[in-house]
Amino acid sequence: MATGSCVCGKATYTLKGQPLARSAQAICHCHDCRRLTGSAFTYSLQVRKEDFALFDNSGSTDSATPLLRETKFTHISGVTMKFSACGDCGTRLYKQVESPEHEPFLLVQAGTIIDRGGDKDGQGVQVKPDMELWTKHRASWIPAIDGVVQKQEF
């Protein structure tokens, strides 16, 4: 079972199983994701909600600061997306596309995975992108990843 957390350690999670099949791990170069992360792209793993468990590690009963802070926005593609971040440090842990077909899934931010959780065969959660999205917005200094599906948009 893989584990992950925010920077301050208040919000932690476990992830069982593997990300979904092909196209489950994507790098997104769109302007929205770049602005939301302050980076050149986001890297997300699509997982089933039932395979993801979130925990409050603060030990506090003070409800003044919620475990997660949620931000909704309309993506350049027109879908509504919701980012969930630690209520204390602001680390974005996952995002969700708000639509019926995406309801069962979360897009976990790959950089928040701490331990890939190797099993008896030494295999943990496989972290390797299989798709790049919104490549028409890719920063000029970032090359395409060989062997990965390239999409100009979604």
Q: How far apart are the first and last CA of the chain?
A: 30
| CB contact at 8 A, 130 and 4 | no
pLDDT value for 124: 64
Pull the structure tokens for residue 91.
């680390």
What whole-number distance in Å separates Cα of residue 110 and Cα of residue 28?
12
Tokens 């302050």 sit on residue: 38
What pLDDT sits at residue 32? 86
Domain parsing of the chain, residue ranges: 2-58+104-150
Tell me the whole-structure pTM to 2 decimals.
Answer: 0.82
Distances (CA, A) of 140 to 6, 69, 145: 30, 33, 13
- pLDDT for 101: 81
Compute the half-sphere exposure of residue 38: CA atoms within 13 Å on the CB side of its CA. 3
Predicted pLDDT at 64: 64
Spans in the chain with pLDDT lower than 70: 17-23, 60-64, 117-125
Residue with tokens 């395409």: 144
Q: What CA–CA distance (Å, rounded) separates 59 from 46?
A: 29
Q: Which value, to the nearest 10 degrees, does the dihedral of the CA atoms of residues 63, 65, 66, 67 take?
A: -110
Burial class from Cβ neighbours inside 10 Å (0-12, 13-18, 19+) for residue 11 reads: buried
Q: How far apart (Å, rounded) are the C-alpha atoms in residues 102 and 53?
A: 18
